[in-house]
Amino acid sequence: MNNNRLLATLAVAALALAPFAGAYPVFVMKVMCFALFASAFNLLVGHAGLLSFGHAALFGGAGYVAGHAMKAWGVTPELGLVLGTATGALLGLGMGLLAIRREGIYFAMITLALAQMLYFVFLQARFTGGEDGLQGIPRGSLFGILPLDDDRVLYYTVLAIVVAAFALIVRVVHSPFGEILNAIKENEPRAISLGYDTDRFKLLAFVLSAAFSGLAGSLKVLVLGFETLTDVHWSMSGTVILMTLVGGLGSHAGPVIGALVIVTLESKLGDIGAWIGDLTGIAWFRTLNDSVTVAMGLLFIVVVLFMRNGLAGAAADLARRMRRHAQARGGAATVVTETAA
């Protein structure tokens, strides 16, 4: 636990210093938003065992409401974030009440069907802008004091919110409520036999996951200044599943790592390919920007086949092996010293 806290502290410190190291603030903020989204999804699937294909509707729906409120109603950013989070929670409540009546693939298909219904609602609703999306969302000033039009100010605001939300997710997972969720995931009939109302716990987990997803979607809208149908399409649900599995299902660091990898591939693969092409003189690398989906597919296959616990699990396994190897070498050196003496 102490090592985990140390790594978390170092990660937050690195994020705090990232703008001074030349990192593009908007890109890092986008990664943080998706890291929070993936962590929210991981709360549901990794700790409650509920696989949802409908989280895109929660993520994008909250973004639409928050963006519309800030643009059309002129609400402040903090109130827009609250409205977006509440929208995610309410959509999650409605979706969860219907979906938790079933289990396994039927649960997943119900969430997918409901999400597609919401997709067509957002497609036809006037306030969303239809296929053109919701554009020109103002950032405003936080509490009327902090000017969020300044990327640096917005960056540290987003960092503070994401860190607080992530800490709350970790607290939920390690609380008695989180232990009950893990018990339901491992053996639901046994949890029922112990007297737990499993449907109530699963519904609460769904609503919490939906609320955090709504917060992530609202933050993304605040950062980028627009919302489109891409965020409510079923493919966004697939993307967050991919982030969670690639990073490591059920771990705290996994969704964060997965979000970083996937967002980097989507946003920077073309730049990386151009750099490799200039370095090697091979023109094929310059076409990598057209092969993002293929690259993500290959990454997913490699992780599933060779790293069943995701990138975070593979890194943890490597660290344990190196530690054991160092201890073994230290023990051998001690034996040699004692023998020589």
Helical axes 253-280 vs 234-247, angle rounded to 10°:
90
At a CB cut-off of 8 Å and minimum separation 6, what does 267 contact?
A: 27, 30
What pTM was estimated for this model as a whole? 0.91
How many CB atoms neighbour CB 338 within 10 A?
8
Rg (CA), the chain: 22
Three-class SS state of 147: strand
Distance CA 109, CA 54 (A): 9
Joined tokens for residue 105: 């693939």
Joined tokens for residue 32: 């943080």
Q: What is the pLDDT of residue 271?
A: 77
Joined tokens for residue 245: 């599995």
Q: What is the pLDDT of residue 321?
A: 85
Domains and CATH numbers, the chain: 2-252 (1.10.3470)
**Residue-by-residue pLDDT tens, the chain, 341 positions:** 567 788 888 889 999 998 888 888 999 999 999 999 999 999 999 999 999 999 999 999 999 999 999 999 989 999 999 999 999 999 999 999 999 988 889 999 999 999 999 999 999 998 998 888 899 999 988 988 889 998 999 999 999 999 999 999 999 999 999 999 999 999 999 999 989 999 999 999 999 999 999 999 999 999 999 999 999 999 999 999 999 999 999 888 899 999 999 999 888 887 777 777 777 777 777 777 777 788 888 888 988 888 888 888 888 888 788 888 777 776 665 655 555 55
For residue 178, the surrounding DSSP H or E stretch is helix 176-186
Three-class SS state of 37: helix
